[in-house]
Copies of this chain bind each other. A is one copy, B any other.
Amino acid sequence: MTQAKRAAPARATAWVLENKTLSPVEQAYNYILQGILSGELAPGMRVPSESVAEALGISRMPVRDALRRLEGDGAVTIYANRGATVAEYSHDDVIQLIEMRAVLEALGARLALAHIGDAEMEEFVHLRERMDRAVNDLPNWITRHDDFHNYLTSLSRRPLLMRQTERIRMMLRPYFRRHHAEQQELEIPGHEHQKIIDAVASGNPDVVEQTVRAHALANVEKIANLT
């Protein structure tokens, strides 16, 4: 069990950029994830390693690796001897995920306050406007919406927290899509998110945390009821 300790290699954060040809595992990972995020692969659908392998012209082995990683991300569920399916979250699961996201993003927002100046406030308004402009284009709007929240969380300078919230958001993606697709209008332009901007502008950590938390929990029931 014991292994010689050796200095861990430097964290390669930029390997994506220099690698033009993605490795088979990465191809498979991106391919499947894209399918889930885009909505092509709906919750419950099977993801046979064979068909993915064939589609990408690789063997099943890297696909399996990719599926394991996606399982860790909560994007797919792997049943023993029965393969992988796009993760399906129940009514209660969705509630839990939203609750978790709420407290985590609220925490992120609170911690972000320390790093917010005029430039950042401007950026918030900018992001809100971009969101509003995409109000009639659902896929685009979802992206912009995520941009807004991710930016706020990113200002906390907490990469692990960021990663966590992104992960949960990814898990919820299919259900948010469904929810927004059924709404007549996505949001009275900017209204909800302006409240967050105002809270941030106030500079009060408790207010910020509470506002973001409430925002995330806003229509938890409506979303969960779709499942």
Interface of A toward B, CB cutoff 8 Å: 1-9, 12, 15, 23, 35, 40-42, 44-48, 51, 55, 64-65, 68-69, 71-73, 77, 79-80, 82, 85, 88, 92-93, 96-97, 99-100, 103-104, 106-107, 111, 158-161, 164
Contact A9-B48, Cβ < 8 Å, known A35-B1, A160-B93: no
Are B5 and A44 closer than 8 Å at their CB atoms? yes
Contact partner, A15, options B64, B80, B107, Cβ 8 Å: B80
Residues of B contacting A4 in the complex (Cβ-Cβ under 8 angstroms):
46
C-alpha gap A160/B87 in the complex (Å)? 13
Copies in the complex: 2
Are B6 and A46 closer than 8 Å at their CB atoms? yes
Residues of B contacting A159 in the complex (Cβ-Cβ under 8 angstroms):
96
Residues of B contacting A71 in the complex (Cβ-Cβ under 8 angstroms):
69, 72
Residues of B contacting A103 in the complex (Cβ-Cβ under 8 angstroms):
103-104, 106-107
Residues of B contacting A96 in the complex (Cβ-Cβ under 8 angstroms):
158-161
C-alpha gap A211/B73 in the complex (Å)? 30
C-alpha gap A51/B158 in the complex (Å)? 35
Contact A42-B5, Cβ < 8 Å, known A69-B68, A106-B103: yes
Residues of B contacting A68 in the complex (Cβ-Cβ under 8 angstroms):
65, 68-69, 72
